[in-house]
Every structure is written in C-alpha cells, then in structure tokens.
C-alpha cells in the first residue's frame, strides 16, 4: 500500500486513502511503520557474491574506499539480510556511480564500491523492485525470484504426483508457468485489494502462495474452498472454467464486477429461450451438489405497465384531492 499522487497534486497513502500529504516524502514518513514492516530478500545471488568479493579484498588488502554506510550495505547484501524499501531506494540511487564500476580494485574506489553495493545485478534489481513496490498495478509484469520459482516447482511436482492417478474430465496437472501467473496475480491483489488479505498474512509473497495453494485445491477437486479466482487459467472441461466466449460476451456491456465474482451463471438453450419469449416466463431448477434452487425468469413488460398504471392512478387521485381543497 504505497503512496499515490492525487489529481490535485497532493499525495495519499493507499489507493483509497485521503489526499492529505503535500509531498511523497511526507506521505512515506507519516506511514513509516508500514514501510518498516515490508522487507525483501529476493535479490540475485550474484549480488551477494559481488559484495563478498569486495569485503574479502578489503579484509585481505586493506582499503580506505567507501563509507561506513557503504560497507554496512555490503555486509547486509553478502549475508542476504532483508532490506526495507528505503534501503532498496538507496541501492537504486547508487546507479549514478556506474561510470566508475570498471575501475580495478587496486587502482581506485569505483570498482570495489560498486561491488560492495552488490554490483550491476543488485542495482538493476533494486530499480525494478522499487518500481514494483510503488506501482503494484504492474505486478503481473514483474519476474518471479529464483527462490519463489523453486518453491513453485516443488509444489508443481508434488501436485502432479498426487493427481497422476485421478480420473477427471479435465487435466488436473499444472506447470510452473501457470503457477507463476497465479502467484503474480496474488502479489498484485495483496497491494490493490488489501481488505481481502487474511489476518496473519504479513507479506505479498505469503498471500500469493496461499492463492497458489487454493488454485491447486481447485485443480484437484473441481471446486474452490471459498471464493473463486484465476478461473481463466483452469483447464478445459473443469467445472469452474471461464471460457473466452463468456468473457467476450460480458465485455460487450458495462461490468461492475469481475468475471470471477458472479454467484451464478445461467446459460439458456434455444428451446428455453423460445419458451421464455412465447409464454413470458420460465422456471429452472439449478443444482450444485446437494443444494437445489428453483428460479423463475420472466420476459416482457406487462407487469411493469400495470405497476405504472397504478402509480399514475394514485397520482391523479392525490391531485384531485388537492384541487377539491
């Protein structure tokens, strides 16, 4: 839930916050507890290797290069410590020194301090990470870290092993690529829909993994434990699959809810449509598991005309009473 700029030039905390801050810095400072809670350690392993190399050279050969802050940062990166958004922003800003990055360690400070801050891999990661944090709407465009990829791969292998003997109308197997899509949508939802995040969830990755687990449950069982999400990623013949045809039809009219938020979808056959048009009404029994619901659909404007006539008559009676007075 980062700070956003309002149309009037002020800043607000979160997409639904009040536009009350004069600058982005004021917004971030006023909500520093939020930024203090969010930490990240999914930077490249190469960044830690670069920092370790710089530290080793300094310890073995001595070096007057850099500041206490710079070497503190080197130790953080080499130890793969979690970094706050503010620290990541400082790393990203170090890109201004890139013109000196190729200076040999024994000929100047440019090369050793560049590596101390994690090198090119760390700087580029920090720039992209900062953009992802501050622009959560672009989460689906981001890359999944190696750590998360490994986690998703393990989940994929276990799931596919568990379902290999299942007899389903759909293919219950998954790929890492599909789980990555679910994961990234979960990260985006963590920022753009914070009200949906359950109590106890402390990071976007944790919320996204929970979404992956929910998706895998649906792939095995043909239903979700609660709610629905990513139904467009479900395989053909899955009972909760959203088809492209359904999506395209819905896009023709103004939508107030997402495709996955409808509680019921009824598809009429040509015979049922003919009955509805001819008789003006149609009854359908909808079943889901052991639950049944009888729904009545009506067509035409006869009832509405009667209601309008009653309102018109009542209005005329009121006017008549007023005129008599």
d(CA 279, CA 145): 59
d(CA 252, CA 242): 16
Answer yes or no: are the C-beta atoms of 248 and 255 closer than 8 Å: no
d(CA 219, CA 214): 9
Which single residue is written with the structure tokens 């800043």? 11
Q: 3-state DSSP call for residue 278?
A: helix
Count the alpha carbons within 13 Å of 40 in the hemisphere toward its beta carbon.
24
* Predicted pLDDT of residue 189: 79
Distances (CA, A) of 88 to 25, 93, 113: 15, 9, 16
Instruction: Copy the structure tokens of residue 46.
Output: 């190469």
d(CA 201, CA 214): 15
* Predicted pLDDT of residue 280: 66
* Predicted pLDDT of residue 131: 79
Angle at the Cα of 159 (from 155 to 160), degrees rounded to 5?
Answer: 120
Please give the torsion angle defined by the CA atoms of residues 295, 300, 306 and 312, in that order, rounded to the nearest 10 degrees: 120
Helices marked H in the chain — which ranges? 24-30, 32-37, 45-61, 68-78, 85-93, 110-116, 119-134, 146-162, 176-192, 204-221, 244-251, 270-279, 302-324
The full DSSP string for 23-76 is SHHHHHHHTHHHHHH-EE----HHHHHHHHHHHHHHHHH----S-HHHHHHHHH
- Each domain of the chain, given as residue ranges in start order, spans 3-37, 40-134, 140-233, 266-325
Please give the torsion angle defined by the CA atoms of residues 230, 236, 237 and 240, in that order, rounded to the nearest 10 degrees: 10
d(CA 215, CA 273): 35
Query: What is the pTM for the complete model shown?
Result: 0.38
Instruction: Copy the structure tokens of residue 97.
Output: 């020194």
d(CA 156, CA 230): 17
Instruction: Copy the structure tokens of residue 150.
Output: 């490994």
**Which parts of the chain register pLDDT below 50?**
36, 139-140, 244-262, 301-307
């Amino acid at each position: 839930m980062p700070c956003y700029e309002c149309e009037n030039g002020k800043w607000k905390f979160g997409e639904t916050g009040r536009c009350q801050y004069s600058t982005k810095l004021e917004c971030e400072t006023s909500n520093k507890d939020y930024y203090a809670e969010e930490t990240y350690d999914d930077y490249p392993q190469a960044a830690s290797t670069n920092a370790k190399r710089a530290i080793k050279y300094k310890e073995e050969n001595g070096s007057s290069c850099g500041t206490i802050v710079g070497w503190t940062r080197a130790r953080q990166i080499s130890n793969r410590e979690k970094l706050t958004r503010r620290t990541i922003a400082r790393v990203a800003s170090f890109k201004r020194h890139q013109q000196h990055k190729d200076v040999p360690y024994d000929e100047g400070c440019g090369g050793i301090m560049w590596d101390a801050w994690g090198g090119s891999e760390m700087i580029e990661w920090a720039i992209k990470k900062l953009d992802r944090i501050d622009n959560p709407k672009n989460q689906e465009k981001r890359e999944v870290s190696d750590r998360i990829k490994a986690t998703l791969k393990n989940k994929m292998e276990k799931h596919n092993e568990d379902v290999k003997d299942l007899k389903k109308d759909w293919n219950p197997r998954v790929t890492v690529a599909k789980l990555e899509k679910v994961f990234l949508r979960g990260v985006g939802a963590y920022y753009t829909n914070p009200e949906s995040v359950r109590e106890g969830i402390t990071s976007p990755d944790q919320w996204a993994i929970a979404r992956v687990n929910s998706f895998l449950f649906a792939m095995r069982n043909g239903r979700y434990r609660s709610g629905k999400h990513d139904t467009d990623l479900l395989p053909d013949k899955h009972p909760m699959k959203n088809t492209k045809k359904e999506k395209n039809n819905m896009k023709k009219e103004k939508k107030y809810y997402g495709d996955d938020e409808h509680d019921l979808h009824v598809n009429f056959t040509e015979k049922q449509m003919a009955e509805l048009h001819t008789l003006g009404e149609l009854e359908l029994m909808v079943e889901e598991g052991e639950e049944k619901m009888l729904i009545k659909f009506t067509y035409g404007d006869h009832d509405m005309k009667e209601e309008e006539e009653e309102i018109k008559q009542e209005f005329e009676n009121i006017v008549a009473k007023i005129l008599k007075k």
